[in-house]
Amino acid sequence: MTTAGGHGYPPAVLLAIDVGNTNTVLGVYEGTHLREHWRIETSHTRTYDEYGILLRQLFAAAAVDPGAVNAIAISSVVPPLAFTLEQMCLRYFRVMPLFVGPGVKTGMPILYDNPREVGADRVVNAVAAYERWRCGLVVVDFGTATTFDAVSQKGEYLGGAICPGIAVSMEALFRNASKLPRVEFIRPALVIGKNTVASIQSGLVYGQVALVDGICARMADELGFQPKVVATGGLAPLVAGASRTITEVDEHLTLDGLRILHERNR
| Burial of residue 29 (number of CB atoms within 10 Å: 0-12, 13-18, 19+) | buried
Contact residues for 55 (Cβ-Cβ < 8 A; gap 6+): 26, 66, 88, 92
Active site residue 213: no
- Rounded CA separation 149/254 (Å): 13
What CA–CA distances, in Å, run from 73 to 49, 76, 148, 261? Answer: 19, 10, 23, 8
**How far, CA to CA in Å, does 228 sit from each of 60, 132, 191, 219?**
39, 12, 26, 11
Query: Nearest 10 degrees: CA dihedral of 237, 239, 242, 245?
Result: -90
Strand partners, 98: 73
Cα distance between residue 202 and residue 185, in whole Å: 9
CA distance 259 to 163: 27
Rounded CA-CA distance 192/202 in Å is 7
Coil, helix or strand at residue 265: coil
**Which of these is catalytic: 121, 141, 149, 256?**
121
**Mind telling me the catalytic residues?**
121
